[in-house]
Structure 1
């Protein structure tokens, strides 16, 4: 079966719901006009990925205005729409990715590998999500999930298509650390690596806006770097090689027989030199205790 996928590399305006929903709607409409069957939006395109307490205020219930608007649009355009937003429940906050079809919400996935200080604002999910559609079984992932072979190994032999929403930042201008440079490159290589390991088409949509909120140690703000792409079995079908706001589309072939994965491809997923491993630990692991305590202290103020 042939399926046309569109990645909508969108520059959100942080915390401006009206602007972001209008921009997403316009990009979806354009992609649908050009034959898209599936439209993929970035991570937290609503309210626009940033690292401030406003995230709590901007969170929505699953039946809130963002998902409801996307459901209406999917029905009207007869397409599938996926992306992530900040979900609020009666007890927690999550970075939640949805997959919506013409008949409504089909499934959700809560980001499992919540990166470092992101855990100040949302709690990690617990399990992968596979959504059955007319095109086959679709696996979902979000940004930093790409770093973890354990997650992708769970999808091996069980899916026909992978969709990944992301807000992967570029390298801050004030640092030249080798680990940070390495991470800067991973968002460009990992989607292709995932498609090769699973032997299925993989669509990766990254954001391309400047975030709000200052990084610690004087590193300033982050800018999501773009570089969205669509790959199949390790081959790039379409890509945006910059951080400009843009749409890419590619037609993929979903075979009737599900491909098998060579599990050896999940070994040595990312090779960090020893020096970078120490920096990785310092940047990704050391802030976690503070982030989790911060989340615990602050979430109750915003839950109702």
Structure 2
């Protein structure tokens, strides 16, 4: 067993000013590093901000692009691991990706989001963990963490601790469309998901969410409520191997340093409750069975057509 310090970097959604996002992340990580951390964990798409429509493609970069260069330089300077999100392109497709840089200033792995925003990214079922000197680190990007399949794959991987970078919208008020009980379910969701992993895998979990507003979701009427009533509410937290909250943040930008214990654990795994055949938390059955599949199908068709046109336009200059 060993104890390491981790830092959640709860960053604002700097979708209108990417350089300000890099500057703020640098400042927060540097302050956290003074407390002896081993790893800093940024939210999903921290490199460009969470933009759930096809305008995000303008910020696409290769695996060794500016986000990787920034993370590697800062990792080497501070002697820590850094997890950062970015929109990755291989020249053929766009991916919602998350990289991990090491204290030697190198990228030690990249994970791509599987249950990605269908209008914006290619869905890629790939790796679930990255091996490092501080342990085998499981990584799931936002929606990937919310289903039982991903949890079972993490179980097979025998990870030491889990990172959950999110840009997870939640309702900031109740109204005629969103009941107070629904709003509370969204508020509890970070802990529900993190605890499901910790209780079943018996490992610490780090849930890092963004805060602030976001541009319009693509998806038509199927995501109307998201565009009207939701924002990024933070709520980042750390759970230990017993599923207990070690630390929890509010809805403001900042950082939180926590100590986690990793290593072999003899506690009996707790199998989570599964809702609507795959989800790890309660939700609306109509949305999950009807609306969401429709939005995903339309999104995949749009992505397959529009991203090719966009890339061809770029090549023609």
Deviation at 1:302, TM superposition (A): 3.3
Query: Are 1:212 and 2:215 counterparts?
Result: yes
* RMSD after superposition: 2.2
* Cα 1:285/1:248, change in 2 over 3 Å: same
Query: Are 1:247 and 2:286 counterparts?
Result: no
Within the candidate set 240, 247, 272, 1:238 is matched to 247
TM-score (norm: length of structure 1): 0.90
Deviation at 1:282, TM superposition (A): 3.2
Query: Are 1:190 and 2:193 counterparts?
Result: yes
Deviations 1:3-54 (A, max 9, x none): 1000011103214221111111111111111221100000111211022322
Q: Which runs of structure 2 are paired with 1:289-304 in the superposition (5 Å)?
A: 289-303=297-311, 304=315
TM-score (norm: length of structure 2): 0.86
Looking at structure 2, the residues matched to 265 and 53 of structure 1 have their Cα atoms a distance apart, in angstroms, of 35
Looking at structure 2, the residues matched to 180 and 238 of structure 1 have their Cα atoms a distance apart, in angstroms, of 22
Secondary structure at 2:171 match in 1: coil
Asked if the contact 1:59/1:87 (under 8 Å) is kept, the reply is: yes
Which residue of structure 2 lines up, in the alignment, with residue 149 of structure 1? 148
Q: Which runs of structure 2 are paired with 1:1-304 in the superposition (5 Å)?
A: 1-103=2-104, 104-114=106-116, 118-156=117-155, 158-171=158-171, 173=173, 175-176=177-178, 182-213=185-216, 216-217=220-221, 218-219=224-225, 220-221=227-228, 222-233=230-241, 234-240=243-249, 242-255=250-263, 257=264, 262=269, 264-265=271-272, 270=280, 272=282, 276-303=284-311, 304=315
* Cα 1:68/1:302, change in 2 over 3 Å: farther
Number of residue pairs matched? 297
Structure 1 unpaired stretches of 5+: none
Deviation at 1:166, TM superposition (A): 0.1
Deviation at 1:180, TM superposition (A): 6.6
Secondary structure at 2:212 match in 1: coil
Structure 2 unpaired stretches of 5+: none
Deviations 1:77-114 (A, max 9, x none): 10000021111111111110111101210111111122
Deviation at 1:245, TM superposition (A): 0.7
Deviation at 1:179, TM superposition (A): 5.8
Looking at structure 1, the residues matched to 274 and 216 of structure 2 have their Cα atoms a distance apart, in angstroms, of 36
Looking at structure 1, the residues matched to 217 and 260 of structure 2 have their Cα atoms a distance apart, in angstroms, of 40
Asked if the contact 1:191/1:202 (under 8 Å) is kept, the reply is: yes
Looking at structure 2, the residues matched to 162 and 78 of structure 1 have their Cα atoms a distance apart, in angstroms, of 21
* Cα 1:89/1:206, change in 2 over 3 Å: same
